Amino acid sequence: MSILNFKIPKFKMPKFKMNGLSEIEELKFSTENSEKTKSNKRDKNYENPNYKTIKEVFIKSTEKYKDKSFILEKPDHKTPYKEITYGEFKEDVIGLGTGMLKLLGLKDERVVIIGETTYNWYVSYMAMLCGVGIAVPVDKELPANEIENVVKRSRAKAVIYSPKKKEVIEKVKENLSEVEYFIEMKSEEPINGKDVGINYLIEAGKRLAKNGDTTLMDIEIDPEEFKVLIFTSGTTARSKGVMICNRNLAENINACHSYVKITEEDRLFSVLPLHHTYESTIGFLYPMSAGSSVAICEGLKYIASNLKESQPTAILTVPLLVESLYKKITDNIKKSKKETLVNSMIRITNALKAVNVDIKKEVFKEIYENLGGKLRIVVSAAAPIDPKVGKWLEDIGIIFLQGYGLTETAPIAALTPDFDTRVGSAGKAVVCAEIKIKNPNEKGEGEVLIKSRTTMLGYYEDEEATNEVMEDGWFNSGDVGYLDNDGFLFITGRSKNVIVTQNGKNIYPEEIEIMLGKIPEIRECIVYGKEEEGKKELTVSARVIPNYDEIEKKYGKIPDKEEIHKIIWEEIKKVNKKLTSYKCIKFLEIKEGEFEKTTTMKVKRAVELKKKV
């Protein structure tokens, strides 16, 4: 929904010494005297719960794991992580919910939540899901006019906002006459007209609860009732409001437990925006159901230090961030002149793992230490990723999973089981879902249709748009892909991005973009069909942001634009040799600056292609 000029900031990772690898290489491993590890292979899913509402999850987990750490947040960059327990979280949620109901009269009202990831965001969202009203999570990167528009479209009666959004909220207040309360996170301020601090409400609500008020917890949740309104990222069209119910979210949790086993010993690292269903459902509600903890990343420039301090076991992320971490680590290995040795150890440890002797954690200990020391799972979703990145992670002993879904499926429709990983696949349909391919071509490719208990109630106040994407109970994702013989889904592109040639051939830009992404001189790119006057056939074109650091390193300087064009074109010609003729890139544009992106780092193609380079 939002425009975000996203660029991974420079963050430091130490030069790897990889001490000890030489000694390990010299060892003669024997499968007879080496301790064998338990194979991760299973022939069936894990046992999954059967939650109907998120309130059920909240009650069970906050009672069962009362004294365990749940949310870890840094008060500031220099202060260690503060750990909040499940018990404290429960008290704060009940406090806020009771305060909003009894002091502000917000029962069944829509409430916008906007801000960076903070403890107060989690508390606010859970209070809404436990019965206050309808939560409207909003992208913090939206400009003032779009925030105003979303608040009006949702008919929100209250806005909960972080202190960093205070200036923007003040700008739009006068135009939001229907909003009854503006609730500032981290604030102790008592009710003053329309303004109030969230901590004041929490403490006032706690007092009411201690004196016997059970208003919030007495509310019975209808699993089918509209409870969350999320505006889509709108990468291909104007944002739509997606209506989600408790059943949608609860089924996501049930389904994830079938494929991926996490426990109270696990800790997830929260680096993605919470307004997006990927993070708020799988990065928050799912670990809560298992008694796991969640450590909040302060921001991308602090990712390396936060990883080391919080020591997560799992990270949910998107390809751009995974690929950046991969490149940072592998570049440092090359600088340390240990690349050959590391590749040798990958081969040896892979051979040992094949006979259930897994020593990867010990061999690649230094890499693990720079990722916190305990990382075991990386989940990538939201866009295609170069399979070599996932393969490399598995080679050093990290379980690499991919998820697939949309806001409309709240969000998971397919997921890689941790006991049957398939690098390159988007996963297989989760247990409450079916996936089929509409009108497959000779390669089995077609539009991906989903039927799932996680599928939305519909688009908010837009029956026509709902009917356009629903076909006899099947949701048309707009993605193009195929299923293999085992039911694993492979996404090849977006139907709206497809370039159709005059003779009916389909070209999926995402496929070519992954190939171009391997060129060191290219930082980012989009491939599209360019219309040219006098030509019926679209010209397959690439719009490229150069990797100036790589170019300067290779050529000793940053050449002028014409020379950069020539350098990159020579590399593209090499890629063209690997493509069938009709897919070859015929035109190259060099773009200055950044692509406009959503907060899940997808390029807003429609917006970008309207611009002149």
Tell which residue, 209, 91, 104, has the closest CA to residue 159.
104
DSSP 260-327: ----TT-EEEE-S-TTSHIIIIIIIIHHHHHT-EEEEP--GGGHHHHHHHH--SEEEE-HHHHHHHHH
pTM: 0.84
Please report which confidence band the pLDDT of residue 33 belongs to, taking 50, 70 and 90 as the band edges: very low
8-state DSSP, 501: P
The domain limits of the chain are 55-67+75-220, 499-608
Helix (H) / strand (E) element for 210: namely helix 198-210
555 pLDDT exceeds 70?
yes
Q: How far is CA 156 from CA 141, 282, 435, 463, 521, in A?
A: 19, 26, 35, 21, 47
Residue identified by tokens 């050529």 is: 555
Residue identified by tokens 């990983």 is: 421
Report the SS3 class of residue 223.
coil
8-state DSSP, 131: I
What percentage of residues in the chain have a pLDDT greater than 70? 92
235 pLDDT exceeds 80?
no
Please report which confidence band the pLDDT of residue 175 belongs to, taking 50, 70 and 90 as the band edges: very high
Least confident of 379-383, 397-401, 470-474: 379-383
249 pLDDT exceeds 60?
yes
102 close to 205: Cβ distance less than 8 angstroms: yes
- Output 299-304 pairs: Cβ under 8 A, ≥24 positions apart: 300/8, 300/9, 300/11, 300/271, 301/9, 301/10, 301/11, 302/11, 302/77, 303/11, 303/271, 304/11, 304/12, 304/13, 304/370
Helix (H) / strand (E) element for 160: namely strand 158-161
Cα-to-chain-centroid distance, residue 77: 24
Domains 55-67+75-220 and 499-608 share a fold: no
551 pLDDT exceeds 50?
yes
What percentage of residues in the chain have a pLDDT greater than 90? 74
Largest CA distance in the chain: 78
The CATH-assigned architecture of domain 55-67+75-220 is: 3-Layer(aba) Sandwich (3.40)
What is the CATH number that goes with domain 499-608? Answer: 3.30.300.30
- Give the residue with greater pLDDT, 495 vs 120: 120
The overall average pLDDT reported for the chain is 90
CA distance 88 to 67: 8
CA distance 514 to 421: 21
